Structure 1
């Protein structure tokens, strides 16, 4: 005869990895909307939880505070922009110019529609008042992207593709046209919008002109 409480010996299982991923994805998607609409200072965790359709306690199981939530949004939304540079390099025989056109241009062309531009403008506007916001953006976006650009520029210089070492010393120059277009669109986009991808492409053509054989 078997005794004990009903259900004794059953193994309690936590949420499945798929459910966990879906919940986290819903939270991040909701947080992106709220951060863009209200800014970092105006965003409350309860607002994000309500938009995501989860309990506030559930939200804290995934992100310990608003700063961690913002960093999670950056990691999700900026992944392809950073990953294209840092997780791969030029293919055999591919120049730095062609590599950057292949990896950077698609990400910059979708900067506005993906809402990455809104996050950049948020960091510019509020990073000075909230050092954790600026630090998260540097940790997630700037440092890996600049490190990758510097490595690729050093390799390109060794191949004789660069006439100087400016891009090695100041890799942030490569981000300048995209940031400029993003800030411009935030201020003047309603009257005179800039195509961020076109601005970056023009910059690449200016600083990394095609070899004569490529232009033929």
Structure 2
């Protein structure tokens, strides 16, 4: 009797599922974050739904959950992209060896401050301030992503400026929040109170540098 096994064709090898390319994954994530930013700013944190973000991005809800486990993770992604990533870039850009800290701050922060509104970074900050009281997780992620690294960078720059005799007094060493206080004021003023009297964040920041640093 002939050997059936010898004449039977071998089963085809199992096909491996193709994974999306890194570039496609990055594009999908960018589309999700752009849609999420739109909806968070339109509706606030509480009223935003994952299904609506997926629909705005033109994706299935399952695809959205492959990238972000829940709404808090999605909001954290938006916050990281809008505010955390630019801040990290600035924190890693140290002044040149002979550059005064005051001039380095104007050089590094000027472009960011000029686009606070057009980039919608200011709108994201206003949203955080509006929602942080009701949602402690929003306040906690903003502190982790923005406040803690930001204050660490300011303290390091203030110490450098103090060592070089560039500060008017020790106020910035005691209260590093003073450096960005006029920027926060401009964000709030322009969002809620301006009525045509718009406050320039870059000009306000420059005025604060005049108060904190020696000429």
Q: CA deviation digits over 1:77-97, x for unaligned, max 9?
A: 114541243112111100110
Aligned residue runs from structure 1 range 120-139, under 5 A: 120-139=125-144
| Equivalent position SS for 1:97 | helix
Cα displacement (A) at 1:9:
4.1
- Give structure 1 regions of 4+ aligned residues with deviation exceeding 3 angstroms: none
Q: Does residue 22 of structure 1 match 2:27?
A: yes
Q: Does residue 64 of structure 1 match 2:69?
A: yes
Indicate the structure (1 or 2) with the bigger Cα radius of gyration: 2
Q: Residues of 2 paired with 1:22 and 1:84: CA distance? A: 21
Corresponding residue for residue 11 of structure 2:
4
Corresponding residue for residue 214 of structure 1:
none
Gaps of at least 5 residues in structure 2 are 1-6
Match of 1:153 among 153, 158, 172: 158
TM-score scaled to structure 1, two decimals?
0.91
| Equivalent position SS for 2:95 | coil
Q: Number of residues paired by the alignment?
A: 208
Corresponding residue for residue 213 of structure 1:
none
State the Cα RMSD in Å: 1.5
Q: CA deviation digits over 1:158-208, x for unaligned, max 9?
A: 111123322122111111000001101111233321122221122222322
Q: Residues of 1 paired with 2:158 and 2:37: CA distance? A: 33
Q: Residues of 1 paired with 2:90 and 2:29: CA distance? A: 26
